[in-house]
Every structure is written in structure tokens, then in C-alpha cells.
Structure 1
Amino acid sequence: MTSGNSITRRGLGLAAAGLGLAAALPRDAAAQAAFPTRNFRVVIPTGQGGGAERLARSFDDGWSKQLGGRRFEYEFFPGASGQVGYELYVNRRDKDGYHLLFGNMGPEMLMYALQRPRFRFPEDITYFCRIDVDDSCVFVRANSPFRRIEDVVAEAKKRPLNVATSRIPHPASIGILALGESQNARFNLVPYAGGNPTVVAVLNGEADIGVLPIALVIRQGERMRTLGVFNNENIVAAKSNDAPPINQVFGTRIPPLPSSRSWAVHTEVMERFPDRFKTLEESAAKVFDDPAFREAYDKQGLPVETIRYGNRAACTEYAQGMLELANRYRAQLTAQR
């Protein structure tokens, strides 16, 4: 007679067989089944409190709901136009799908092309979820003597104007240099290491004008006036003084120069942990259907019109386009450094 909790010889054999089967399973496959089991760590290659952080935080609550309540913990590594953060992410963070990067593809692909950092794109980094398309613009403080973009160009033909920008390798920087080249006007770029310091430089008169993605300028409200956008349409005209497309004013053919922020992951994750990568891709895409995301975005003072989901293919196309622009305007950008 046996007790109710006794272990028979047959039971021992089944248990041993089960252990053997578990041991035979690849560790990566076993780990993927439960993904995610812990919080995510995110590298942002700009300073804390900037536009990238605001965008990421407006997104991560909705994404957390899609990922079983796992949260996002941020690290900030400004420096060298994003190079410091990217190199640290690629070389010092585990390639396991739990470590992500949130970057501004436009300026950071320009950085990649111009500064030749110690990582490779797309071999080391894959962008997979674009959040926004944020057009570059020219702006001034509300009491500036420049009322129109034509006023700026007219003055820049007489003397060099100091232009505040968040960093030299930036789509907005390309825009103002291309405008100057086309109109025989002189602009001197002054990098301020971030959007917020750029805004302050224009507000206090350190710089004659500024160039930035338009969402941050709109966020300043009546303190700023937008004079023109580097695209063929101003999708937020009602919120930006009906600022015209610069090509429309001058008959130029400057290419569209938006910033686009995106989540990225080590490319190796796609190969080692395809199920994890699929979970990240699919769950991120679902956030755009969550009204709470748009509400969080709006509460940050950002125009919801700039929300534009882009999948991995769209991100790669945009990034490659920025690399082409960097090569086209390499001489102008490097001359300003």
C-alpha cells in the first residue's frame, strides 16, 4: 500500500524524461516563449528632458499595455550629435531584445554618414517603429524684426545671420544651408546640443533665427513665430502662423527635410530571437490604435498631426534617404563644423 504522495518508479522515469526534453530545448526558444519577462532598458542618445524623451514617454504607456505591463527605463547619453549614445548601445548593451534605442533617425543618420562612428548601419541597428514625421522649419522669437522668411533672406544677403540649431548634422541644418546656397545668402550655424537650448538661444537673442523640427516650436506657443517649413506642404499651418512652404516662396527645390523618431533594436536580435522581434514589431504598431497615445502626445504640447506610424521598411527607406542627403550636402555641413 502506498501513500497519496508517494513517487513510483514509473513516475520517476516520466519526470526524468521530462527533464531531459527540457534540457534538449534550445535556451533561446525557451526564453522567447515567455517574452517579455522583465522591464526594458532604453538608450536615448540625447539629453534628458528633450523632445526624444517626451515622445518616447508619450508612447511607452500604451506599449506597456501591449507587453504585459512591462515598463521602460531610460538612460540618456548626449554627445557628438548622437554618436556617444549609439556606440554605447551597440557595443555595451546586451543584444537580447530587452535593450532598445529611441532615436531621431534624420540627424542621427546624418551623424553616421559624416562622423563614421564605430557601428554599422543597418548591420548593427534596425529601426522598426517610426512615431512621427516632424517637418523642419525656420523660426524667430515673437518680437523679432523678421516677420517673413523673405525678410530673413534679405538680411542674410547683407550680413551673415547666426542660426541656432540643435546639432550641425540635422535635416533643419541642411534646409537653411540649401536655402542660403540657392539665394546667395549667408547663414552661420551655431549648434546648441539639443532642442530646448536652441529655443532658449533664439528667445534671448543669442541667435538671429533658429531651425528645428516644427513640433517643438509649436510647443512654445506665442513666444515663437514660424516663418517657413522645409516641405511642400505645412501640415500644421493652423498651429504655426500659416507659415508657408519655403519652396513655394522662393521657387526652390529643397527636398522635404522632416525629423522622424523611431524605436530601434540590435539587428542581431532579429536573427537570434525572431519571436521577440516579432512581438516588439507587432505590439508597437498596435499602440497607434490606442486613443490614450494621442492624448498623451497632445498633453506633451505636441501636434497630433505629426503622428505617422512607419514600419521597418518605411524606417529603412527614410534612413537611407538621409544618408543620400548627407552625401549631397557633405561639403556644406562639414564647412560649418
Structure 2
Amino acid sequence: MTKHAKSITRRSFLNSSAAVAGAGALGLGTASPAFAQEFPSRDFSVVIPTGEGGGVDRAARAFTRVWSDIIGANFEFGYYPGASGQVGYELYLNRRDADVYNLLFGNIAPEMIMYATQNPDFQYPEDFLYLAGIDVDDSVIWVAQNSKFETIQDLIEEGQSRTITLSTSRLPHPSTIGALLLAEETGMDVRMIPYGGGSAARSAAVTGEVDGCATFMSSSLSLSDQIRFLGVFTGRNRVPGMTNEAPPLNEALGLDMPALQGQRTWALQRAAYEEYPERVDTLLTTLQEVFDAPEYKDAVKQAGTPWEFIEYTDAEACQESAQTIIDLARRYQDVLSG
């Protein structure tokens, strides 16, 4: 299994030193188990806070194609896009029973930016928890192949004497946070320009309308013959051969920035987490088995995701990622909110 951290069940999460401190604040440590019964005894319902057919949907379907055989139940999907995920989250938390049969599958970073900047009708982590991440998609900066910027150092040096323009699909995006943090750390001047969609943002950078693009890595791999990746906002480059050996920015620049990436993740209402510990343990145990199933690798390939992006992230690491994004989104709220 490709892992970000050790395998974890509900009990080990609550009993770990980091989680015990968090459990006191969340009220998770004192719940008594609900009456045990066969689980699952019916199908699961999954709320996806983005549109049908998108990357989140494809990832969820690839995963549950295998998970359903392991856990012994099917997964039914409902799509509730709108307001950067807010519509789906509010529906899930306000209109779905907290019984572990109702799950949410989302993307931590974009949706925690939404939480930090839009004042939604729910509280994190009081109302829900991220249980497990299934993949990662690192934020990157790249330029057109014919750009004069050969390295990230070249871009930074130029940005210390003039404003560097970077396209993005939308301002409230983890790669925007990455670019702003990089500018703050290095003294470069950056202007983020939203294009209302990934395709338009990428086209603007390829044609030289802007100096470069800040985005998720996966969306740009098909352009590798037209672009030059300058750096990755995480500790390692997962696919160096597909990204002209672009370095991790911390390594290249001697910085200590947090990882800025997409993490598609399973989430559950806090009330369900407290009330049904045995069900949660079954959910987590069977979920982890998916990563070792050969069928999952085939499903991921069919979904068009590089296997190198598949990474199990446990509950503790998910909460750390979510809180990091919340803190950074509030720090840069004026820019992210446009």
C-alpha cells in the first residue's frame, strides 16, 4: 500500500497522542458504542460536492469499484456542485442521516479554502472529519517551453524587479496559496490572474499571455511537450520523468513551505463517527484493503490517473492538511476572495 502515514483505525486515531488532544476539543473520546449489528446491511450513499464526470467523480468510482467487493455493499452517488463545494457539504451535513451509510467524497484543499473564506453553514472539525485520503495531486508552477525562464530561480529573480503574472483556473485554489507563499518567502512580486477554468488558464500560459501557470500537476501532464515545469509544492516530485525533473521548491530554494496539493478524501459526519465505532472500524479496515488490490491499479489506470498519485493518507494527516489550508486561506483571504 502506498501510504502517507501508518494504517489507522478509529480507535488508534483516538488513542494516538496527537488525536487525544484533538479528541478533547472535538468531544470524540467519551462516546459509548452503539448496539452492534451486521454492517453493512444495505448500500452506501455518497455525496460528491462537485459535478458528475469530473476528476473527483472518476476517482470515487475507480475506488468504490473495488471497495464494494471488499466491504460487500454498493455505493450510490449524488452530485451537488455549487459555491466551490459549499452546496454539497451543507446538504450532506444537514440532510443526511449520521449512520455511516452516508459518506462524502471531496477534495480537502479546495474545499477547506471554501470553508475558510465563504462562511458556510457548518463547522470543521466539529461537524465532520476527513477519514482517509486516497490520492494526491501536487501544486506546481510551469512556464511555456519557449519561455526565457529555465529555472524557478530565474523566475524569482525576474519577480524581484517586476510583477510576475501567473494564470490559475480560479483564485481560491491551493496553487494560488502556493504562489503567494512563494512570493512572500522570496521577495518576488506575483499577480494571480484567474481564467474561470483550467483549460483557459493553461492556454494563457502556453501562448505567453502570462508568464506562467500555477495549477495541479495532473491537469498539465498532457502538455509536457509544450511546457517546462519549474517546481513542485511538496517534498518530492512523484513523476520526475513526466515533468522534466522539476525540483521540489523547498529543496531548490532552501525553504520550509507546507505541501500544497489536492487530496481526494472520504469524510464522515462527527455524529456518526461517535455513535458507531464498530462501523467506522469496518469502513477504515476495508478501505485500506483497496490499495493492495490489483484490480484497483487497473481501475486507476482506466480513470486516467498516474499510479504514482495514489497515496493512502490517514485521518490524522488529513486533519493536519485541512487545518494548514484553513490557516493559509485565512491568511490570504483578501486575494483568494477576489
The TM-score bracket by the shorter chain reads: 0.7 to 0.9
Query: Is the contact between residue 124 and residue 267 of structure 1 (CA under 8 Å) also seen in structure 2?
Result: yes
Match of 1:37 in 2: 42
Shift of residue 293 of structure 1?
A: 1.2
The within-5 A match list for 1:64-75 is 64-75=68-79
Shift of residue 292 of structure 1?
A: 1.6
Moved more, 142-151 or 257-266: 142-151
Shift of residue 198 of structure 1?
A: 4.2
State the AA in 2 paired with 1:47: G
The structure with higher relative contact order (CA 8 Å, sep 6+) is 2
> Of 180, 190, 209, which aligns to 2:193?
190
Unaligned runs of 5+ in 2: 1-33
- The 1:99/1:149 distance shift into structure 2, 3 A limit, reads same
**SS at structure 2 position matched to 1:37:** coil
Distance 1:316 1:250 in 2: 27
Deviation per CA, 1:148-172: give whole Å up to 9, x if none: 3234334434543432334433332
Query: Is the contact between residue 60 and residue 72 of structure 1 (CA under 8 Å) also seen in structure 2?
Result: no
* TM-score of the superposed pair, with normalisation by structure 1: 0.78
Unaligned runs of 5+ in 1: 1-27
Match of 1:121 in 2: 124
> Of 84, 109, 116, which aligns to 1:106?
109
Moved more, 256-265 or 283-292: 256-265
Answer yes or no: is 1:52 the counterpart of 2:29. Answer: no
Deviation per CA, 1:48-92: give whole Å up to 9, x if none: 33322222222111111123241332414132x322322222122
Distance 1:55 1:193 in 2: 23
Structure showing greater Rg: 1
**SS at structure 2 position matched to 1:100:** strand
Distance 2:89 2:104 in 1: 8
Query: Is the contact between residue 46 and residue 75 of structure 2 (CA under 8 Å) also seen in structure 1?
Result: no
Match of 2:244 in 1: 241
Match of 2:5 in 1: none
Deviation per CA, 1:156-203: give whole Å up to 9, x if none: 345434323344333321211122223332222234566555445545
Answer yes or no: is 1:77 the counterpart of 2:92. Answer: no
Distance 2:199 2:47 in 1: 19
Query: Is the contact between residue 132 and residue 260 of structure 1 (CA under 8 Å) also seen in structure 2?
Result: yes
Distance 2:79 2:116 in 1: 24
- The 1:333/1:236 distance shift into structure 2, 3 A limit, reads farther
Count of matched residue pairs: 304
Match of 1:63 in 2: 67
Answer yes or no: is 1:175 the counterpart of 2:168. Answer: no
**SS at structure 2 position matched to 1:289:** coil
The within-5 A match list for 1:178-327 is 178-192=181-195, 195=198, 198-203=201-206, 207-327=210-330
State the AA in 2 paired with 1:48: E
CA RMSD of aligned residues (A): 2.8
